[in-house]
Structure 1
């Protein structure tokens, strides 16, 4: 296919008068799925009569549950997709739901199977590599900036633009009440300053050292006697949280759940917090989604993941190699050389208007 023909195919107009069923594809990761919710909201606003279906992985389902803009969530359980024939039948089942529009934010193999099987007249995505172009009818180059805006900019051919929409998790009152009761049982009162801390990440280039977190907690507990830290952890991460708790020498100021909180339990606890502090991972986006101010420590990643408002900020050392967006590094100075005292000053500034 010539470049001229490719460009013409990508730019042909879309009939916006007959879009009644939409499929959005974003399989992973949890934070990325959450950052897709502004696009879902914008699609529903543009096509209020349309049903919006969402294709994702099982681990990401909790951040989409109870979302009023989504009619149906199609869930891929990777642990059970060990039979190719059954897997293809599932993708075909989705594809044959007569979607008028498919928006694929990832172009992953499982997304491409659904796109391939679908008879949708509009299959929209970001500019695909040459070997994927025949699968899609339209594509749009994303605009740089905040990650949710980056995603939403793909919707430009539909007459949609990002309007500052933040990601959202739709928590039920019962979930918020259970979180409130849990925190009260841990000794948190209205007089306390509650900070949720996410100290983990599977990538070393995005994980501030555990010892730094421990020192920060210790120093903060000396500065604010009414402070409480809720240490969050995911699968296989409790040992890290325990190590930070022990090294902090501030056990009376910390809450470490005996059992790992579910994603929605975590979100509800963050919703009750005064501030969220942590690495560049899903909980920082959850904080935005539940309207809790946040301070994120950046290593390899850029500021494009930070929601553009005074409530949500990041701190970084500012080395010439940042951001590198690499997953490995033999000497991650960007994180190791960012001392707890520096983060404490940023935290102090952030808390000026939050202390009870």
Structure 2
């Protein structure tokens, strides 16, 4: 087995196929790998939809973007994985152990193939493994790097906006009469009911905050297929003038550029909270089924939840069938916390 104390790779492959937020939460580990091996080239194997998260990242040389629609059969997939393996990586870090990650790891024949403790039937694929470190998700992932002498030390997720993207955001927001620090981004969407605070609660909270801070407005974010959820907040809101709901969907990097100019981000436990952290915007996350492991440990980032014996359950369906952790969290309480953060 390779002595990792003297190991000095020239080419590193990081495997994190999905989801978008999880790829963003892998960027602290990518930075740590770069700092540990500054002369090494670092490539990432991920799904095509996640590529924007890594654009313009100075620590990443190349992104292998998996386009499943472009690989019509298993043979085509194997050819693609063989192309990746032909880069002759010295170190492969597999954060997921998904089948496609395992194929790439197997074909790579890298000297060091690192992951979290695998089940017995996958152990021959890897040379080293380490348990993730409990706590914040970015730290959890970075724990896998411990055999390399790498320790997470508070590194946040990173998304590197270009100057052009920042200028776009200024111009775009000006079209809604919004400027830096004069609005809050709002993410009222989620595809899991156990993580979705009701739209009527969001609307009530917005009205309460606006009554105390009429100088601030709420920019409502939504992703593909989520516009109806976003629009429901607007329909319930007694002060629709306090909200901005864009007519068209904006991209991931455009969303991050908008968030970078916001005073605060408020929303459910989903990807946009991590994007806000990555562009240094404070966050308040409304929790249902999920626990606090997704919160970046900083005074600028906080969670709010209804303290029930059954939460966090981390389930996709409510065993009680009443979603009490979300329904019982009052808009007044959330509004008061928002105003506290704003210093109102």
Q: Give me the TM-score of the superposition, normalised by structure 1.
A: 0.94
Matched with 1:18 is 8
How far has the Cα of 1:189 moved from its partner? 3.7
Matches within 5 A, 1:307-322: 307-322=296-311
CA distance in 2, matches of 1:78, 1:273: 35
Query: What is the CA–CA distance in structure 2 between the aligned matches of 1:186 and 1:178, rounded to whole Å?
Result: 13
Does the aligned pair in 2 maintain the 1:20–1:100 contact within 8 Å? yes
- Shift of residue 331 of structure 1? 2.3
CA deviation digits over 1:305-342, x for unaligned, max 9?
00001000000111111111111112211111111011
TM superposition shift of 1:78: 2.4
Alignment of 1:63-212 (within 5 A): 63-189=53-179, 193-212=182-201
Structure 1 partner of 2:277: 288
CA contact (8 A) 1:205 1:327 kept: yes
Conserved in 2, the CA contact under 8 Å of 1:299 and 1:316?
A: yes
The aligned counterpart of 1:334 is: 325
Task: Please point out which of 254, 272, 276 is paired with 2:243.
Answer: 254
From 33, 38, 60, the equivalent of 2:28 is 38
The 8 Å contact of residues 96 and 119 in structure 1, kept in 2 or not, is answered as no
Q: Aligned residue pairs: how many?
A: 342
Match of 1:271 among 241, 245, 260: 260
- Mapped partners of 1:98, 1:18: distance in 2: 14
Write the deviation string for residues 45-65 of structure 1: whole angstroms up to 9, x where unpaired: 000000000010111111110
Tell whether 2:273 aligns with 1:297. Answer: no
Partner secondary structure for residue 258 of structure 1: coil
Classify the secondary structure of the residue corresponding to 1:74: strand
Deviation, 1:15, is 5.4
Structure 2 unaligned regions, length at least 5: none
CA offset at residue 215 of structure 1? 1.0
Give the Cα separation in 1 of the matches to 2:6 and 2:271: 34
Secondary structure of the structure 2 residue equivalent to 1:196: strand
CA distance in 1, matches of 2:340, 2:155: 26
Distance (whole Å) between structure 2 residues aligned to residue 16 and residue 149 of structure 1: 24
Are the counterparts in 2 of residues 52 and 71 from structure 1 also a CA contact under 8 Å?
A: yes
Cα distance between partner residues in 2 of 1:169 and 1:233: 19
User: Counterparts of 1:257 and 1:78 in 2: how far apart (Å)?
Assistant: 30
Local SS of the residue matching 1:124: strand
Inter-partner Cα distance in structure 2 for 1:208 and 1:82: 39
8 A Cα contact 2:8 2:37, kept in partner: no
Q: Which moved more, 1:204-213 or 1:259-268?
A: 204-213
| Structure 1 portions without partners, runs of 5+ | 1-8
Distance 2:322 2:214 in 1: 36
TM-score (norm 2): 0.97
Local SS of the residue matching 2:69:
coil
SS in 1 for 2:207: helix
